Amino acid sequence: MLKLGVNIDHVATLRQARYAGRERGEPDPIEAALICEAAGAHGITAHLREDRRHIQDRDMQKLRDSIKTRLNFEMANTEEMILFALQLKPEIVCLVPEHRREVTTEGGLDAVGQLTILTTSRQRLNDAGIEVSLFIDPDLAQVQASSQIGAQFVELHTGAYGEQFHRKKERQDELHRLVDSSRKAHELGIGVNAGHGLNTQNLSELFRVPHLIELNIGHSIISRSVTVGLATAVHEMLHLMRNYPA
Ligand code: PXP
């Protein structure tokens, strides 16, 4: 069965828009994570960025203490984050590239160009009992390098597939890249996850990619929850307002 990891960064983005610098605020990403788990999600993903623009250090710790499924800690390969992960002990770390000005993680890791440094980090994390996934573009050379690094998983970047979904030829090209990369990773004994830009429209076509274990989906699920949850939130407020003595 294909597993779902829900990325809850976007819940924290909304909270930070109003409550940055405060100890608490709504919506609470931990509450959101628990709702996702209760709804059947197989794991929770959160990205602690160097600029702390959405998820905060305390969120990671609270997630670690409260969720019952797998914690997938997305992070850049920096000494600060490696030390954070070693004390947090998530089930899995997904190493991602990070650029300050990007809106979200834009491209995959350059596993080919960072073979040595990624191998060292992979080893340190594995030694602490933490599995390692590398977020890479669907590219055979990157898959091969991920194998040399010794990663247990790759997460294939589906952003380009999502972007090109409405252009027939480009969509097919992206799908081929994903299919070939997934086959290659599987041959090399690496588990294959995928994520970025997936939504209810482009999901079923992605099923042509073999060997997928888990999809990490954030923006679409959190956006959709605004739409499907808005009526309930308005009803709740109106219900409370009925208590006004007039
Ligand atoms: N996987 C990785 C490695 C990511 O960086 C992100 C975005 O934070 C996702 C999955 C989820 O992408 P989206 O929010 O587009 O569903």
| pLDDT tens digits, one per residue of 46-59 | 999 999 999 999 99
95 belongs to a structural domain: yes
Q: What is the DSSP code (8-state) at residue 204?
A: H
For ligand 1, atom 7, name the residue with the nearest CA: 196
Which one of 196, 201, 225 would you pick to mutate in the ligand 1 pocket, going by the greatest count of ligand atoms within 8 A of its CB?
Answer: 196
83 three-state secondary structure: helix
Q: List helix spans (H) across 89-188.
A: 115-127, 140-149, 159-163, 168-187
Q: Is 157 considered catalytic here?
A: no
159 three-state secondary structure: helix
94 three-state secondary structure: strand
Please write the tens of the pLDDT for every residue from 155-193. Answer: 999 999 999 999 999 999 999 999 999 999 999 999 999
185 belongs to a structural domain: yes
Give 136's contacts (C-beta < 8 A, 6+ positions apart).
Answer: 108, 109, 111, 142, 143, 146, 154, 155, 156, 157, 181
**CA angle, corner 191, sides to 67 and 41, nearest 5?**
30
Residue 51 Cα to ligand 1 midpoint, Å, equals: 17
151 belongs to a structural domain: yes
7 lines ligand 1 (CB under 6 A): yes
Q: What is the distance between the alpha carbons of residues 162 and 157, in angstroms, rounded to a whole number?
A: 10
**Catalytic entry in 10, 47, 54, 157:** 47
Secondary structure tally for the chain: helices H, strands E: 10, 8
Residue 195 Cα to ligand 1 midpoint, Å, equals: 6
> Is the torsion defined by CA of 167, 173, 179, 185 positive or negative?
negative
DSSP conformation letters of 11-50 = HHHHHHHHHTTSS--SS-HHHHHHHHHHTT-SEEEEE--T
180 belongs to a structural domain: yes
Specify the higher pLDDT residue, 237 or 102. Answer: 237
Q: Is 74 considered catalytic here?
A: yes
Q: What is the pLDDT of residue 107?
A: 87
Q: What is the pLDDT of residue 181?
A: 98
Q: Is 170 considered catalytic here?
A: no
Query: Residue 105 pLDDT more than 90?
Result: no
Number of structural domains, the chain?
1
Side-chain half-sphere CA neighbours of 179 within 13 A: 11
102 belongs to a structural domain: yes
The CATH number of whichever domain residue 67 belongs to comes to 3.20.20.70
199 lines ligand 1 (CB under 6 A): no
79 belongs to a structural domain: yes
Token duo for residue 115 = 């073979």
246 belongs to a structural domain: no
Query: Residue 103 pLDDT more than 80?
Result: no
49 belongs to a structural domain: yes
Query: Is the bond leading into 27 cis (omega within 30 degrees of zero)?
Result: yes
Percent of the chain exceeding pLDDT 90 equals 96
Mean pLDDT of all residues belonging to the chain: 96
Query: Residue 115 pLDDT more than 80?
Result: yes
Give 185's contacts (C-beta < 8 A, 6+ positions apart).
Answer: 143, 146, 147, 154, 156, 191, 192, 211
Q: Which of 208, 156, 206 has the alpha carbon at shortest distance from 184?
A: 156
Q: Which residues of 27-44 are buried (b: 16+ CB within 10 A; e: fewer)?
A: bbbbebbbebbeeebbbb
Query: Residue 125 pLDDT more than 90?
Result: yes
Domain of 40, in residue numbers: 3-241
